[in-house]
């Protein structure tokens, strides 16, 4: 995953358009998220404790997984200049340390006058959907981007 950020203006967004990112979550990422969020639930950080749960081993924080959706909509589609309006999440399966997660966003509706875009969002590990939801974004407009846009 690179630091590239693109802009897709509301005038150019179409139903069915999509974008994605991938990231592999390791122990360092999970520990960093725990420090930032304050969520030190041992299901994420303590292998001995996690072994006693139905998961059998530590799982990645659900919201760390969901943060990849923010990456997609904030850096790819609509990208630079977009603002989150809302996000729904349904956690469907665990993500384990070492899993590579692919986050995808697909445009479902475009409301050009209001500059709103509704996207179906999901995260997958392989073919398994681990999280799904919907994002609504305020997309940038070419007319408001000024001379530099």
Domains of the chain, residue spans: 11-24+60-140
Q: What is the pLDDT of residue 3?
A: 72
The reported pLDDT for the residue numbered 146 is: 62
Q: 17-46 burial, b for 16+ CB within 10 Å, e for fewer?
A: bebbbebebeeebbeebbeeeebeeebbbe
- In this predicted structure, what is the pLDDT of residue 24? 97
Helix (H) or strand (E) holding 131: strand 128-138
Q: In the CATH hierarchy, which top-level class contains the domain 11-24+60-140?
A: alpha beta
- In the prediction, which pLDDT does 91 show? 98
- pTM given for the model: 0.90
Q: What is the pLDDT along the chain (149 residues), one digit of tens a residue?
A: 457 899 999 999 999 999 999 999 999 999 999 999 999 999 999 999 999 999 999 999 999 999 999 999 999 999 999 999 999 999 999 999 999 999 999 999 999 999 999 999 999 999 999 999 999 999 999 988 764 44
CA distance 63 to 80: 22
> Counting runs of H as helices and runs of E as strands, what totals does the chain give?
5, 5
d(CA 56, CA 24): 20
């Amino acid at each position: 995953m690179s630091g590239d950020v693109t802009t897709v203006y509301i005038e150019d967004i179409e139903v069915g358009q999509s974008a994605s990112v991938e990231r592999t979550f390791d122990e360092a990422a999970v520990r960093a998220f725990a420090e930032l969020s304050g969520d030190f639930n041992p299901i994420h950080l303590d292998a001995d404790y996690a072994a006693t749960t139905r998961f059998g081993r530590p799982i990645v924080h659900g919201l760390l997984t969901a943060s990849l959706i923010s990456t997609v909509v904030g850096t790819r589609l609509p990208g630079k200049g977009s603002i989150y309006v809302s996000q729904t999440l349904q956690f469907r399966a665990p993500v384990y340390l070492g899993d590579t997660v692919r986050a995808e966003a697909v445009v479902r509706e475009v409301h050009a006058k209001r500059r709103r875009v509704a996207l179906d969002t999901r995260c997958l590990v392989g073919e398994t959907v681990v999280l799904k939801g919907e994002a609504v974004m305020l997309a940038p407009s070419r007319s408001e981007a000024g001379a530099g846009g």
